[in-house]
Amino acid sequence: MSRLQLVKTEKTKMEQKKELEEQDKVRLMKEKDHSDLEISMLKQQLDGTKRTYEQQQLHLETKARNAQEELEKKLKELECLLSDSRKKEKELESFSVSKAQIWNRKKVSYLNSIDSQFQALQGLRAASMSIKHEVIKTQRSYSEEFNRLGLKLKDLAEAAENYHAVLEENRRLYNEVQDLKGNIRVYCRIRPFLPGQSKKHSTIEYIGDNGELVVANPSKQGKENHRLFKFNKVFGPAATQEEVFLDTQPLIRSVLDGFNVCIFAYGQTGSGKTYTMSGPNSASKGDWGVNYRALSDLFQISQNRRSSMSYEVGVQMVEIYNEQVRDLLSSDASQKRLGIWSSSQPNGLAVPDASMHPVNSTGDVLELMHTGLTNRAVGATALNERSSRSHSVLTVHVRGADLETGAALRGNLHLVDLAGSERVDRSEVTGDRLKEAQHINKSLSALGDVIFALAQKSPHVPYRNSKLTQVLQSSLGGQAKTLMFVQLNPDVESFSETVSTLKFAERVSGVELGAARSNKEGRDVKELMEQVTSLKDTIAKKDEEIERLQLLKDPRTMSPSVNNEKRSSTSPKVGASSPRRHSLDGEFQPSRRLSSGKVSALADKASSDPNNNSDDKHSEAGSQLSMDAMVDTNQISPPDDELLGFSGADSEERLSDISDGGLSVGTETDGSVSGAMESSLFLEGSKPAESTQKSKLATKIPRPPQKQVQSTLTRPSSLKDLRKSTGSKKLPSAGSSSATKTTTTTGKRWQ
Cite the annotated binding site by residue number: 267-274
Q: What SS3 class is residue 689? A: coil
| Count of C-beta atoms within a 10 Å radius of residue 435 | 13
Tell me the Cα Rg of the chain. Answer: 52
| Count of C-beta atoms within a 10 Å radius of residue 703 | 19
Contacts of residue 643, defined as CB under 8 A and 6 or more positions apart, other chains included, come to: 718, 721, 722
Q: At what angle do helices 523-553 and 596-607 cross, to 10 degrees?
A: 180
In 3D space, the residue among 676, 526, 522, 524 whose CA is nearest the CA of residue 614 turns out to be: 522
DSSP string for 482-548? EEEEEEE--BGGGHHHHHHHHHHHHHHHT-B------EEE-HHHHHHHHHHHHHHHHHHHHHHHHHH
Buried b (16+ CB within 10 A) or exposed e, 91-124: eeeeeeeeeeeeeeeeeeeeeeeeeeeeeeeeee
Amino acid at 225: N
Does the CA dihedral 693-696-702-708 come out positive or negative?
Answer: negative
Half-sphere exposure of 580 (CA within 13 A, CB side): 20
DSSP string for 614-673? HHHHHHHHHHHHHHHHHHT--PPPHHHHHHHT--SSSHHHHHHT--TTTS--SS--TTTT
Residues 349, 682 contacting (CB under 8 angstroms): no
Contacts of residue 595, defined as CB under 8 A and 6 or more positions apart, other chains included, come to: 539, 631
- Binding-site residues for ATP, in ranges, read 267-274
Contacts of residue 634, defined as CB under 8 A and 6 or more positions apart, other chains included, come to: 571, 573, 574, 575, 576, 578, 591, 593
